[in-house]
Chain A
């Protein structure tokens, strides 16, 4: 068979197989990253967050307004006291501030919370200890510093035992916390999910204070300018994280929280509930749809390749009419002719399939290396691609082979 023609014919298969593998690998990698990022938020967690409610009909002409909204200490207590199947309730207060040590200063986020914060967050103590119940009870001026702040604030010194100054007050460092997420580095999805849900799952640049201490030391008021007028906001808690006993309790808990908070806030829309478990399920559904769409596109290109092969094989059969007649005269049965041409077609598609697999494995590698996106080449995609190329070969090769076999030998011998 002409080499150039064979090469061009297999191009369709090569491209089709290559795109099946590459696209499924990219899709699988993205999906895994997304699922891991969501999982880091905790599949048994429900994250309740304060949101600024939409503007109420207020008096115009006022240059100063104070708005009080969001989650309260009372909310956290109500949840703890009235709802069943709750493992922990973690109230969280966040304040943007500046921390100083000796001559260094760094912008940080104060996270005022309770000792069992570590149960709902991926962070863990790498040095020293976390906040304790005594700290909380006695409003101690202690803090736990995020791992990533250490070099900026303390250089090579050991932070534990040192005092950090925030707004003129000193806080003794009792521990360093780090957040190596489960199963890999933080990826693009973590930041996207953080942005989307407002949760940080252990953001960098935090200093953890006992909730009671943060309440007494820092005001709940923040000022912001918008539209030429100054607004003062009063927020008690930015977040409450509720952890339930098992994943079965998650959705019922969400409904209960909705009811309870709706009642406590008199239907004011100043909070939202984020359920990572649901996000996870959605991510899986999205991935499935994605894979189907990508896979379909790739399969269509394989079909197009197959039609191209059938076209070429029909032309080849036509060109070799005489040869077919000769073989038949020499004793070839119809099935011998079918086998002959079908195996030629199969050879084309299988070689194309293998080249496509090689190329298809190369592309995700390049994407990961230059695009810094995770890609996962699954064994099943290789099997799928190979199987499809074989199936395409047999399907689109059968008709030309059949035509070849059923040619009348006498007519064929007269041909050309």
Chain B
């Protein structure tokens, strides 16, 4: 079953009398458990597609089905719920909340979903251990390296058992060693059946995925399948 089913997707920005097509008649289908890279030069619509996939933005036209449900016409509250329960974000600049420590950061999505304090603390500890930070749970982001922060971000993204993980240049701010570590963690997630969508311009990152979707001027220019792994 396609976990992501996009048909005729259009995103148009109105700038006065000018119409800007960020995405144009896009069709995309992603199966459960797939590991997909979305690539393209700047201005190709990568960010826009990411925002639509992440339910941060609504398409102007077309449909977006996530997990079998049409999410393209939901209101703000409903989209917030979808983001909190079905989507896990991993950002280029980690986007951890500086005033909270590791375990509190991981708990944030669970707090908005209504988990009890006890349950969320339990699960947060598990996830922290899973990404190798079990002994650093009381540290603040400022006390962690970039790689460690990104690991917290991944743990956080997994908190509510999302349908898809959306990563935007996950290794963009990391050195090659930390970057490698992160890609390994993502690879492990993929092996365990998590659906991963990574937006990147880095070929090294793209080669770790199974499929690359290349965008140009708001359309899918080509798709490549990677059978090396």
Chain A residues engaging chain B, CB cutoff 8 angstroms? 322-323, 326-336, 409-410, 413
Contact = CB atoms under 8 A, between A and B. Distances in A.
A327 B57 contact: no
Contacts of A328: 56, 80, 83
Contacts of A326: 95, 97
B84 A330 contact: yes
Nearest to A414: B47
Interface string B172-209: 00000000000000000000000000000000000000
B23 to A, nearest CB: 14
B70 interface: no
Name A's interface SS. helix
A322 B51 CA distance: 16
A320 to B, nearest CB: 9
19 contacts: A327-B108, A328-B83, A329-B54, A329-B56, A329-B89, A330-B83, A330-B84, A330-B108, A331-B109, A331-B113, A331-B160, A333-B76, A333-B77, A333-B80, A334-B76, A334-B77, A410-B56, A413-B91, A413-B95
Contacts of A323: 97-98
Given A328-B80, A329-B56, A330-B84, A336 B112 contact: yes
Nearest to A331: B84
B85 interface: yes
B68 to A, nearest CB: 20
B161 interface: no
A329 B57 CA distance: 11
A309 B107 CA distance: 30
Contacts of A409: 56
Contacts of B85: 331
Interface in B95-132: 95, 97-98, 108-109, 112-113
B76 A330 contact: no
Name B's interface SS. helix
B156 interface: yes
B81 interface: yes
Nearest to B109: A330
A247 to B, nearest CB: 64
Nearest to B95: A326
Contacts of B77: 333-335
Choose among A329, A330, A332, A409 the residue with the greatest number of B CB atoms under 10 Å from its CB.
A330
Interface in B152-182: 156, 160
A340 to B, nearest CB: 10
Contacts of B80: 328, 331-334, 336
A331 B112 contact: yes
Q: List the 10 shortest-distance A-B pairs measured between CB atoms, nearest first.
A: A331-B84, A331-B112, A333-B80, A330-B109, A326-B95, A332-B112, A333-B77, A331-B83, A410-B56, A409-B56
B82 to A, nearest CB: 8
A335 B80 CA distance: 11
B50 to A, nearest CB: 10
Nearest to B113: A331
A330 B56 contact: no
Contacts of B51: 410
Choose among B56, B81, B98, B109 the residue with the greatest number of A CB atoms under 10 Å from its CB.
B56
Nearest to B83: A331
